[in-house]
Amino acid sequence: MTSKERVRTALACQVPDRVPINYDANPGIDSRLKAHFGLKPADNEGLRQALGVDFRGVGARYVGPRLHEDIPERGVKVDNWGIHRRWVEHDSGGYWDYCDFPLQEADEETIAKWPMPSAEDYDYSNVRADCEQFAAFGVYVGGPGLGCIINTAGFFRSMEQVFVDLITDDPAGMLLIDRFLDVQFEITRRVLEAARGGVDFMWMGEDLGTQNSPLISVDIFRKHIRPRHQRFFDLAKAHSLPVMLHTCGSSSWAYEDYIAMGLKAVDTLQPEAKDMSPSHLKKTFGGRLAFHGCISTAGPVACGSVADVVKNCRETLEIMMPDGGYCFAPTHALQDNSPTENVVAMYETAHKHGVYR
């Protein structure tokens, strides 16, 4: 099969020639993998080829004006949405941490006037060409941040305030959510129009659980999250595309609702979280949902030996592969504390033991 055929088959809960393989990583381990394969630091495509990755994403390029300025005296980067980040070093690398929460105490008037990008600020002329370039691969639009309500609003208002907004129906918080979702929706709609059939699925996200429990009640989910996500599902349906949803933490409590909405695949699938083990997911949702993930970025890949990694990956494949519907991928971005040899072993195991015979 081509990668495109492989991805489409797996997302349809059918059996491909081998499991499709995907990749995401933080900068530190990403650069070490490129060095391992003798690639230049910016050769993202070369690394995906080396790892045998079956997925590629397409999107529009921002060409609009600069809407917010950095705060160099504090080392704070501010993007065009006005979200603040600062670089935090750790023993194995570093990451951009969200800070300041500029709209934490904002009222409706302030949020209504807050500068945000417009769908008009993006260039869609490259989308069709990118789809053609990646025609052999499983092509997606979006990603874990598309449609994400709790996390994205938290970048502006803090997680604590977002939960208060959802519980109290705070008008300012609801306005913020609807403003950025409206922009995301329109950009996605235009990308799909520009792709002219070159996209294979839509990738969305919503973190719904801690390690042990839901983040919100079912009632709040059905009141605020589900209806706002439904229009993205309807957009995908209008283009005959399946939807895959990124859900960190203990999130399977919401899967029945999402299946009713039209969900076809779930991503991340942290095996340590409650009701998220591969065996539980396969038993409960196998045949109704395809699975993308399950290889823990906090497990043997980060903390074990090469032998531990091979054992863990083989066990996961043995559970998830029967009857198809599984895509091999890390539960999130591979972390910088992951030894290079462990990550290489992870992908070698997928290619060796992820083949259907």
Whether 247 contacts 266, CB under 8 Å: yes
Alpha helices in the chain (DSSP H): 3-11, 27-36, 44-51, 108-113, 127-133, 150-157, 159-168, 171-195, 218-220, 226-238, 255-261, 278-285, 300-303, 306-320, 340-353
Give domain limits for the chain: 3-65+107-353
> What mean pLDDT comes out for the span 237-265?
98
Higher-pLDDT residue of 357, 206: 206
* Cα–Cα distance measured from residue 343 to residue 297, given in angstroms and rounded to the nearest whole number: 10
DSSP state of 114: S
Average per-residue pLDDT for the chain: 97
Q: Where residue 178 falls among pLDDT bands split at 50, 70, 90?
A: very high
Residue 257 pLDDT: 98
> What mean pLDDT comes out for the span 37-55?
98
Q: Which residues neighbour 104 within 8 Å (Cβ) at sequence distance 6 or greater? A: 156, 157, 158, 161
Q: Where residue 93 falls among pLDDT bands split at 50, 70, 90?
A: confident
b/e per residue 208-222 (b: at least 16 CB within 10 A): bbeeeebbbeeebbe
Residue 246 has pLDDT above 90, yes or no: yes
Q: Where residue 348 falls among pLDDT bands split at 50, 70, 90?
A: very high
pLDDT in tens, 50-84: 999 999 999 999 999 999 999 999 999 999 999 99
* Cα–Cα distance measured from residue 29 to residue 294, given in angstroms and rounded to the nearest whole number: 19
**What sign for the dihedral angle of Cα 120, 123, 125, 131?**
negative
CATH code of 3-65+107-353, in short, is 3.20.20.210
Q: Which residues neighbour 123 within 8 Å (Cβ) at sequence distance 6 or greater? A: 60, 61, 62, 63
Share of the chain above pLDDT 70, in %: 100
DSSP state of 225: I
Q: Where residue 357 falls among pLDDT bands split at 50, 70, 90?
A: confident
3-state secondary structure of 140: strand
Share of the chain above pLDDT 90, in %: 98
Torsion of CA 276, 278, 280, 286, to 10 degrees: 110
**What sign for the dihedral angle of Cα 117, 119, 121, 127?**
positive
> What are the structure tokens assigned to 145, written together?
């941040």
Whether 319 contacts 279, CB under 8 Å: yes
Whether 127 contacts 141, CB under 8 Å: no
> What mean pLDDT comes out for the span 293-315?
98
* Cα–Cα distance measured from residue 285 to residue 88, given in angstroms and rounded to the nearest whole number: 39
- Report if pTM > 0.85: yes
Residue 272 has pLDDT above 90, yes or no: yes
